Structure 1
Amino acid sequence: MFKYSKILMIAVTTATVLSGCTKLNEVVLDESSATGLTPKQAAEGAIAPVYALLPSLFQHTRYFALQEISTDEAILPYRGGTDWGDNGIYIGMHTHNFSTTDPNIRNVFNELVQSLSRCITAINALPANTDPSAPAYLAEARGMRAYYSWMLLDLYGLIFVKDNPSDISTILRGAEAVEYIKSELLAVEPLLGNTPTHGRLSKAAVWGLLARLHLNAPVYSDIYANQFNFGAADMDKVIEYCDKIISSGTYQFSPEYFDIFDDDNNTNKEIIFAVDQRAELNGHNRLAYFSLSGDQFPLPEFPGANGTDGPGITSDFYETWENAYGPVDPAAADQRFYKENLTIYSNANDTCVPAANFHINRGILRGQQYGLIRRNGVFLRCPNGDMKVGPLFHDTRNRPTLAVNFTKEIDFSTEGSNYPTGYRVEKYEFSRKSVSGRNFGEANIVILRLADIYLMRAEAKLRKGDAAGALADVNIVRAARTARGTIPALTEMNLDILYRERGFELYWEMVRRTDMIRFGKYEGTWTEKTDNNPQKRIFPIPQTAIDGASNIPNYLVQNPGY
């Protein structure tokens, strides 16, 4: 039977593997369970577990919390003094008071380590498999091991390296870790296919990961530096790999920005690599309901499917839009900010909507919210049978006179933590196909897409002194969104503008923390956050992992500052 690595037993001992509502059609195979399987079945059984924990990793309270709530984009207060308290972990995340016992930090670490273990199992099983798919699957397993290692390096500042399941992993940090990840991605790149497949590693996905690795290599190599050295060699590689994706002609911009995040985005040609969340695969994308009010019900078919009054965007992040567009409302200036689906927002008389046509608005939601009105668990209807639409109040919170009127100001004060505070984000479509209507979402979660490739290339050009080339790349992205008008072209480019533009294009996509560190913004001050300690650039290694490795002296050493 295949053995899991000794260091990975830390994860087995300490992990909260998957929540009870998660369902994965997965069988982890070993020698005893593989009897009677064809080589093809055995190969598929080896590769499936390599990807299986991605949906859990990308849950709203996992990777999203670490990458967004720790930044100036998202804040999650103790709502109404009763909800999302969670022993202060979201307050600590936003203010950079991370704890070594934080469950989200622990769960992400454990699931990454478990995923590495599954990659190693597959890497050892597949070479003996005679099915023609086995070599490609082996390359995918090695490539995904590199991807999970990159996530560990980015979040925790270290990686675990081994090939033999029975060995103790070698721990690498800094430049050594970067070189290992790079070597693994380069080794598998020629063996992977060119066919776009969102949920599987492809040649283009590896190019994108290599570009991301080189762009952040100066950070990873000297994580606590006062200033990062973005050398020409790394920036040239970013440009090279982005060029490969762009010149392939395989990927295309989506004219409608929010189509990228719809239920049916599995065929969206802008996406290069994503977490496959289709319904037949038991998708678990809760990003759509996380920010919405508990009195927003996006689905006429499901009177129990509502939001959870989770995070809002900070006033600081919203002001970047205000400052960019001046007196013009950002909703009118930039299609990426907002999309109106309910016409009652612009025409107060549109209070009856056929159920099939009811779609809530998308993007950044502000002010008084309108939607389906629920009484005694049933939605009200118009005389013709259409859905009744009107202004919403916090009925589910037993505050029927408190309007669902999202305000700009949000903080950890009693007033700033009330249910209506903070503009909300509805970037991913609230799934219309899920059997639960709330807990499962079928939109694939984006890991890499074409716009990010152009923006990475623009940044590499700019850091090499080519402001004109960077400006051209950014304007290509802006010009691509043509479904509802045009976004005006920029006329100048510098690092602050490029950083702002990455926020406009990629908000809520779990890249903000990494961007803030690379651009030197992570020690800044924003809503409720004043900590400027550079040691908070990486998270603590969970105490359970430290304890689990204590039988090997000085093996797993805590990151400085924790």
Structure 2
Amino acid sequence: MKNLLNIRYFLIGLAMSFFALSCVDLEEQVYSDVLADEFFQNEEEFISALGAAYRSLGGLGNHSGLWSINEIASDEIVVSHKGGDWFDGGVLLQLHQHDFLPDNPFFQNSWNFLFGGINTCNRLIFTFEGSDNPIAPSFIGELRALRALYYYWALDAFGNVPLVTDFADLEAPSTRSRQEIYNFILTELNEVIPLLPTAKDASTYGRMTRWSALMIRMKLYLNAEVYTGTPQWALAAADAEEIINSGPYSLMPIYKDNFVINNAISSENILVYPYDKVFARGFNWVMMTLHIASQATFNLTQQPWNGYQTVEEFYNSYVDPVRNPGVQGPVWKGLALEQSPGTLDGRLSNFLVGPQFRSDGSRLTDPGVEGNDPDGQPLTFMPFLNEISPGGLRQAGARIAKYEFERGGTDNMSNDFVIFRLSDVILSLAEAKFRLGETAEALALVNQIRERAGNLDPFTTLTEQNLFDERGREMYVEMTRRQDLIRFKKYGEAWWPFQGMNRPKRVHAPGSHWELFPIPEPQILANPKLTQNPGYN
């Protein structure tokens, strides 16, 4: 059962939210005048207004925003150009090929998502500060933590961004350095973490708590060498240990149960956005990844778009390297994975592969274009990807099945979108320990994750490579991979092997300008105080 309190404040917050989508335009139209000392009389009224800031998170689960730029620019996800479908002016190809251009609308959408959320937090902080209610400071602290989350994502994606905290300041903001943004987020978190709630219950579900704020700080420290040039492994480990040892979280016995339709049951998820197909729509992965014919498999009310696919090499990383030494991956031959019995990673539930069927059990076929199927019938999702452009096969690529698809569902999913969960904390602690030379402790932590995955033997030794690989298998499409590739100095490797591209491959050294996305061109044109990131002028 969905948390009715959260649904209620999301709906009321959505109705009240009239905010600018860019930090360049800080003025908003006022539709009514509600004075803080007249409206905010009790907790319920604060929560109803607070929902607007959280509602901004609803952009995470749909196409062409922050999630898309992080995943398509990594070695996890590609959206191939399939004949007449999904070329879209080449914007998806340039994302995957690391040929980023400032006029790519995906960057503008991501910027608007981030600074729309920041602006809404600023507006509500400004409003709450006008209340003399003694509970106001606790809600201001929560908003500051949420604003820190938006700024953390902006820091990671764009690096050098404006710092806007005063809603009443109408002057156009200037660019701040990545170091300044890092320092701001850290200072904010240090001040508000002691003020945030610690409970894991209906009252805090989908909201910032001490544990989610600690996780933002842990992520800052984990990536500190990338962001500032100075590693902070011990501080990252300390925050991770506090979450693990003091937080109210535990690993779910079964990995995929963190992503079922009713995943509010998860004991592992630390921060989520509570989507709902009626009340809080926008989680569209079922449309983004499934084939158009998959409508008959799940009895969907809408026809999917046949877009997002898994990079074949990433899918193949799910082979068990302990039981299958030297095997490159679960090689696809027609319909079967070439692995020995008992060696399948339970996290292969992340993918939909193989023959596809209608809901009545009959074999599903691809109708093709005007009834002529250029890829061959019957419909079979193959991990194999022939090329990125222009002739990508419509059946190619393992599809994203991490979140359970609802039978009879709509184009909007009701699964809660997982932003942070405990297994990421455990693997982050393992990495911090490994880099500090505490390899025995790190090995035990990684094996804890492997044990939960099922059918996997424990590692006997831990290397940087198998630590990186285990993070990939566990955290697939959770908006961590691009960050991990950069931190492990693998982001510029030539991991895309296919021909038929419209632009050359990008192979770049660690620390190159491609590790930051460009400031969107519309923002630069609208605000001359903004400075483009190096390499994009």
> TM-score with structure 1 length normalisation?
0.80
Shift of 1:177: 1.8
**Mapped contact 1:336–1:504 kept (Cα < 8 A):** no
Shift of 1:31: 3.3
Shift of 1:290: 2.1
- Residues in 1 aligned to 2:278 and 2:132: alpha-carbon distance in whole angstroms: 29
Determine if the alignment matches structure 1 residue 321 to structure 2 residue 318. yes
Shift of 1:277: 1.0
Residue in structure 2 matched with residue 520 of structure 1 by the alignment: 489
- Residues in 2 aligned to 1:247 and 1:89: alpha-carbon distance in whole angstroms: 44
* SS at structure 2 position matched to 1:447: strand
Residue in structure 2 matched with residue 363 of structure 1 by the alignment: 350
Question: Which of the residues 73, 89, 92 maps onto 2:91?
Answer: 89
Shift of 1:331: 8.9
Deviation per CA, 1:11-55: give whole Å up to 9, x if none: 889xxxxxxxxxxxxx99863587964523652343222111111
Superposed, 1:373-452 pairs within 5 Å as 388-395=360-367, 397=369, 398-399=371-372, 402-412=377-387, 417-432=392-407, 437-452=409-424
Taking a change above 3 Å as real, the CA distance of residues 11 and 109 of structure 1, as seen in their structure-2 partners, is: farther
> TM-score with structure 2 length normalisation?
0.84
Read off the aligned partner of 2:316 and give its amino acid letter: E
Superposed, 1:117-136 pairs within 5 Å as 117-131=119-133, 133-136=135-138
**Mapped contact 1:235–1:463 kept (Cα < 8 A):** yes
**Identity fraction in percent:** 27
Residue in structure 1 matched with residue 217 of structure 2 by the alignment: 210
- Residues in 2 aligned to 1:157 and 1:190: alpha-carbon distance in whole angstroms: 27
Taking a change above 3 Å as real, the CA distance of residues 55 and 337 of structure 1, as seen in their structure-2 partners, is: same
* The 10-residue stretch of structure 1 (144-153 or 312-321) with the greater mean CA deviation from structure 2: 312-321
Residue in structure 2 matched with residue 337 of structure 1 by the alignment: 347
Read off the aligned partner of 1:428 and give its amino acid letter: Y
**How many positions carry a matched residue from both structures?**
489
* SS at structure 2 position matched to 1:8: coil
Taking a change above 3 Å as real, the CA distance of residues 179 and 246 of structure 1, as seen in their structure-2 partners, is: same
Deviation per CA, 1:192-235: give whole Å up to 9, x if none: 1012234110000011111111001110114xxxxxx53xxx11
Residue in structure 2 matched with residue 287 of structure 1 by the alignment: 285
* The 10-residue stretch of structure 1 (325-334 or 49-58) with the greater mean CA deviation from structure 2: 325-334
Superposed, 1:139-178 pairs within 5 Å as 139-167=141-169, 168=171, 169=173, 171-178=175-182
- Residues in 2 aligned to 1:108 and 1:297: alpha-carbon distance in whole angstroms: 29
Question: Which of the residues 551, 556, 561 maps onto 2:530?
Answer: 556
- Residues in 2 aligned to 1:303 and 1:520: alpha-carbon distance in whole angstroms: 41
Residue in structure 1 matched with residue 194 of structure 2 by the alignment: 190
Taking a change above 3 Å as real, the CA distance of residues 190 and 28 of structure 1, as seen in their structure-2 partners, is: farther
Q: Stretches of 4+ moved more than 6 A in 1?
A: 2-7, 27-30, 33-36
Read off the aligned partner of 1:309 and give its amino acid letter: N
Residue in structure 1 matched with residue 477 of structure 2 by the alignment: 508
**Mapped contact 1:12–1:114 kept (Cα < 8 A):** no
Determine if the alignment matches structure 1 residue 72 to structure 2 residue 59. no
* The 10-residue stretch of structure 1 (122-131 or 47-56) with the greater mean CA deviation from structure 2: 122-131
**Mapped contact 1:73–1:317 kept (Cα < 8 A):** yes
Read off the aligned partner of 2:210 and give its amino acid letter: K
**Mapped contact 1:67–1:513 kept (Cα < 8 A):** yes
- Residues in 1 aligned to 2:341 and 2:91: alpha-carbon distance in whole angstroms: 33
**Mapped contact 2:37–2:130 kept (Cα < 8 A):** no
Unaligned runs of 5+ residues in structure 2 are: 1-16, 328-337, 499-503
Shift of 1:303: 4.9
The Cα RMSD (Å) is 2.9
Read off the aligned partner of 2:311 and give its amino acid letter: T
Taking a change above 3 Å as real, the CA distance of residues 38 and 187 of structure 1, as seen in their structure-2 partners, is: closer
Taking a change above 3 Å as real, the CA distance of residues 303 and 314 of structure 1, as seen in their structure-2 partners, is: closer
Superposed, 1:229-240 pairs within 5 Å as 230=231, 234-240=232-238
Read off the aligned partner of 2:535 and give its amino acid letter: G
Read off the aligned partner of 1:47 and give its amino acid letter: L
Shift of 1:280: 5.8
Unaligned runs of 5+ residues in structure 1 are: 14-26, 223-228, 339-361, 373-386
Deviation per CA, 1:348-378: give whole Å up to 9, x if none: xxxxxxxxxxxxxx422333x2321xxxxxx
Residue in structure 2 matched with residue 376 of structure 1 by the alignment: none
- Residues in 2 aligned to 1:148 and 1:498: alpha-carbon distance in whole angstroms: 28
Shift of 1:431: 3.1
Read off the aligned partner of 1:314 and give its amino acid letter: V
- Residues in 1 aligned to 2:342 and 2:363: alpha-carbon distance in whole angstroms: 22
Question: Which of the residues 305, 308, 311 maps onto 2:305?
Answer: 308
Taking a change above 3 Å as real, the CA distance of residues 4 and 262 of structure 1, as seen in their structure-2 partners, is: closer
Determine if the alignment matches structure 1 residue 8 to structure 2 residue 19. no
Residue in structure 1 matched with residue 105 of structure 2 by the alignment: 103
Shift of 1:147: 0.9
